[in-house]
Amino acid sequence: MKKTLFIFLFLHFSIYSQEKKKAIKTAKEVFSIIINNDFQKLYEKLEDTIKFQVNIEEIKLFTNNLNKTLNNTSVDFENFKSEIVVPLDTKSKFDYIVYQFPLTGEPNNKDYFEISFILKNNFSKIFSTNVVRIDKMPDITVKYGAEYEKIPKVGEVVTEKNSKTGFIEKIKYRDFNNLIIIEFNEKQVKISESNFLLKNLKFKKITEFYENGNISLIASYDNGIVIGEFKSFYENGNPEKSGLYLEDLKKDKTWNYYNVDGAIVEIEKYQNGKLVDQ
């Protein structure tokens, strides 16, 4: 019995040690990418599920801001803290692990460079990255959908404007079953239209648009994680990829991939997250 327990513990700590080394290696790579302000490489380092939720311009701005924060700063990659995070959605098995590496250079500095990884993946792609300022962070509430939105009355249309520019940022209205939110950019171009179930405001169906009016994305999210039919499009309106997600980001059935002219270039078939034909 003792021998079996020893073998189990040895294997457990051996696997953990390997994962730790992979996490540190990737964290160092991401730090170098940010210092070099290479937003394209940072985008490539993201898990696919995150890529679906952001565009390259957002990553460019994000990388530039991180670069300004981290430049002339060193990171202690040896004395880190790690914590496994379980999503609030009790149905989800989409757990991830957060690594926090202290920033050095100032006495009593509490700030840290944070990297997170999807626990079941191989630690080569990141789930998120940021710099956390302990003394400067405001209280933060995590929002998965429209659960904190004030719901209009039936027949009421609510317009929210930017307090400085007066431009419309959001229009809200509802029917008997759904809350509809339309969002606009600073050029007053519609960028998204979301339908939230009134009985579950953390679930939304969203359509996103390019500035030319063409659709860029059609998808559904439950507690911030994509689920159901997924379709993305090129700026010219042609399809880019389409398929089906089950719970926990498992691809299912047929996934089609297209070139910019709309021709299918690849077909994949999945069964409950496993690729069965290509």
Using DSSP's 3-state secondary structure scheme, residue 262 falls into coil
Contacts of 256 (CB under 8 A, 6+ apart): 239, 241, 242, 243, 264, 266, 267
**Total residues belonging to the chain:** 278
Digit-coded pLDDT (tens) for 28-65: 999 999 999 999 999 999 988 888 777 888 889 888 88
**Buried (b) or exposed (e) across 231-253, using 16+ Cβ within 10 A?**
bbbbeeeebbebbebebbbbbee
Digit-coded pLDDT (tens) for 63-85: 888 888 887 788 888 888 888 77
Q: Strands 128-132 and 158-161, how do they pair? A: unpaired
> Model pTM greater than 0.85?
no
From the list 78, 40, 76, 45, the residue with the least C-alpha distance to 59 is 40
